[in-house]
Structure formats: C-alpha cells, structure tokens
Structure 1
C-alpha cells in the first residue's frame, strides 16, 4: 500500500479569477493498494459559461505536470504519458471533474491538483505551491 495526495487549490489564487470561481478537493491522503483503481474528487464553482478544467500531477520533489484538460462542450486533451490509465470525467450538472486512476502503480504516488485555469506554463520550473 502507498499514498496518493490530493491537494486543495482555490482558483482565486491565480490571476484573472474572481471570488465566485473555485475548486474543492479533499485534503486528506488517499491510501491505495497497488494494482487497484482509485478515484480523486474535484468539484468546482464558476460563472464562466464554458470553462476549461485541468488535472495536474506533482511527483515528490518535482514540478506540477499537466495531465488533462477538458471543456464544457466535451473537447478533451490528455498528455500522452497519461493516456490509458487516467480518466477524468466532467459532469456539468454536478459541477464535478473526478479523475479515476486504473491499476495504480507506485510511480503514481504524487500530489494531484484540479484547476479551473491553466496553472503551469511551458518552461516554468518552480512549484506553484509548497505542499
């Protein structure tokens, strides 16, 4: 068994966001048995009629890496490294964007972030938030 970490990020920390926009994730660690699936929760509030949602992975002692982005009309982009075992499903009615990890591996141990705005730009090397 090992731990996956879910972190809380409020979108209002990022420029261009209003107080009405935020994401919520449980802040507790998730204990997972290797080879089993797990689900990471993410709910959101926004006044944007067509927002983009994002999942990021930050490995221990590493920088956040974009995993997936999806918009309200169904356009989805998944980084090649995360295709296959990582699936995020956007539920507009429930305002949720949970991610399921199939056949969890030890290398999946990390902090996972859900966001309403892009939070990592290409070439950026410093962590966004100390965890």
Structure 2
C-alpha cells in the first residue's frame, strides 16, 4: 500500500516591522511527511528588541482565513488554541532566535500553509470601530459597533 503523504507549505510574516530589522525566515518552503509521522517547521527571526519577543503560528487551509495555532513569548509558555493543544507545540529559543513548530501524529487535515509571525501581529488593534450607515436623504439607518 502506498503511504499517505502530507504536504505543508511554509510562509513567513512580519507585520509592522521596524525599519526592516524585524523579520522571520522559514527557509524550507515545503515539507512532505507520511500520516502518523512527526514534522518540525522551522522559523528563525530577527528583532530590533532584545527581549520580550512574541512569535505566532497560524494555519491556513483551502480558501479559509488563517487560524491561530499558538503564540510564544520570551521567558513564557505563551498559549495554544484548544484544537491544537494535543499535537502542536513550540518553544521560543531567544538565544538562537528560533521558534520551531512541532506537529505530531500527522493527519491529512494538517496539509496547509503555516505562517510564522513576529509581533505585533493581527492582534494589534483592539479598539472598537464605529460606522454609521446613511440613507440617500442623510438619515442614519444603522449605527454599527
């Protein structure tokens, strides 16, 4: 029987990077492994701050939006989304500026694009946005919060 292979694409993100000093690197663009195997996706980073860095991993499959997997902060365990806690793990090593993502017991559903992101990431804006919808005669139709 032919083994089932799982393909993982890697992508790197660094939003709001300061003067191009902050970046992430996922050198290997694709990983292929068999179902049931363990795979490690590597992420190296450079940061303009020496401590307190936060790294995030996201998974994007099909045409869906990226899904938060986990975050790691220098000197802290960070957090992991409930659906990924059992098989996904990472440790941020600030001495070599690395935060590899380890996926155990690979499943076909793990085939996706995985993003490593250096803070600040998409969680930066926590303010409530307001927008008024106006009619043609300038009456407020809805006030959206």
TM over 0.5: yes
Specify the alignment match of 1:42 in structure 2: 43
In structure 2, distance between residues paired with 1:103 and 1:40 = 14
Q: Give secondary structure in 1 for the equivalent of 2:52.
A: coil
CA separation of 1:16 and 1:5: change in aligned 2, threshold 3 A: closer
Query: Which of 54, 78, 83 is matched with 1:76 structurally?
Result: 78
Query: CA 1:8–1:82 in structure 2 vs 1: closer, same or farther (change >3 Å)?
Result: same
Runs ≥4 residues deviating over 6 A: none
Structure 2 CA distance for aligned equivalents of residues 26 and 61 of structure 1: 24
Count of aligned positions: 119
Q: Distance in 1 between matches of 2:120 and 2:21?
A: 17
Higher-Rg structure is 2
When normalised by structure 1's length, the TM-score is: 0.83
Which residue is 2:25 aligned to? 24
Aligned partner (choices 101, 104, 107) of residue 102 of structure 1: 104
What CA distance in whole angstroms lies between the structure 2 residues aligned with 1:118 and 1:56?
Answer: 14
Deviation at 1:7, TM superposition (A): 1.3
